[in-house]
Structure 1
Amino acid sequence: MTTATTTVGRDRHIPWLFVLGFAIVFAVNGTMIWFAVGSFSGLYTPKPRDRGLHYNDVVAAQQARDTLGWRVVTFWHPQSDRLELTLSDRSGAPLAGARVMVELVRPAEKRPPLDVAMAAVDAGRHEGHVALPARGNWDVDIVVERNGERFAQTQRMFLK
């Protein structure tokens, strides 16, 4: 008879163990949600509503960019922390005399973009040095201007 009472005494703690287990799961999930909401807003542009209202202008700008036929090829040199851009026109000839502006944006963090000072090395080739604060995924925002024409493009790169 004593064994039955000690078993019943132990059994009444089992429901509380389930409650404790669920409480731990809720606490961990709540902490993860708090970190997720506080660390990244999910917004890429500063004024997403305005961009949405003027979406047709964005599409028209992209179509104008595509009619230029310019191509930009990016290459990252991790040994020297150098970003290289090769610019070409519709026929594949080097795009000489262009002005290039580059910003590096970390897509998963709220940090200001890094401006990269690009210098023309050769006809259609530009290089810039940047000391990355963190390795990983970066959006390379490229703006090329020549003879009053403007070409903008964003490329996602893993920089290490």
Structure 2
Amino acid sequence: MTTALAPRGRYIPWLFVAGFAVVVGVNAIMITFAVGSFSGLYTPKPRERGLHYNDVVAEQKARDALGWRIETAWRADTGRLELAVSDAAGQPLTGARVSAELVRPVEKRPPVGVTLAMIDAGKFAGFIELPVRGNWDLDVVIERGGNRFAQTRRIFLK
């Protein structure tokens, strides 16, 4: 006489399903964090930049020692960019040559150069035609005498 055995092992296929669900869930979380945390920053030629790191630090210290300050103003209605440049004492910086360009930080677009003319002591202005509005990095270079001051500032153009 044979007796019927109770079916065993019905949970085993569900263990496989649960295991794959855990793997898929962890992958989904990792993909979400990876895509959400990308800042859009990209450094061209990172090795060369790393080799010249001490030069960059020395340039920043020299810039900080000058104490020059830049204030920016953007007039969206006219497309006019104004820069007010002052020295360490807060006096307008005269006799300087100022150049600037706008770079889009999150997409590869060619930089937009700006021709700045002195409109007053320490004040420079130029007009810009931008293809899109939004975040831009304003790279300003000021040269006076043997001194060079370079600064990048993130601005939002409406």
User: Which TM bucket (shorter chain)?
Assistant: 0.7 to 0.9
Aligned length: 131
Deviation, 1:49, is: 1.5
Partner in structure 1 of residue 129 of structure 2: 131
Aligned Cα root-mean-square deviation (Å): 2.6
What SS does structure 1 have at the residue aligned with 2:83? Answer: strand
C-alpha contact 2:40 2:105 (8 A) present in aligned 1: no
Bigger fraction of residues in helix: 1
Task: Indicate which of 94, 97, 118 corresponds to 2:95.
Answer: 97
Partner in structure 2 of residue 118 of structure 1: 116
Per-residue deviation, residues 45-98 of structure 1 (Å, max 9, x unmatched) = 432221111111101100000000100111111110010000000000000111
Larger radius of gyration: 2
Deviation, 1:105, is: 0.3
Partner in structure 1 of residue 58 of structure 2: 60
**TM-score of the pair, normalised by structure 2:** 0.74
1:60 and 1:122 map into 2 onto residues whose CA distance is 32
- Structure 1: 5+ residue stretches without partners: 1-14, 16-21
1:93 and 1:107 map into 2 onto residues whose CA distance is 32
Partner in structure 1 of residue 155 of structure 2: 157
Q: 1:136 to 1:41 in 2, by over 3 A?
A: closer
**TM-score of the pair, normalised by structure 1:** 0.73
Matched-pair identity in %:
60
1:127 and 1:53 map into 2 onto residues whose CA distance is 36
79-88 vs 49-58, which deviates more?
Answer: 49-58
Partner in structure 1 of residue 146 of structure 2: 148
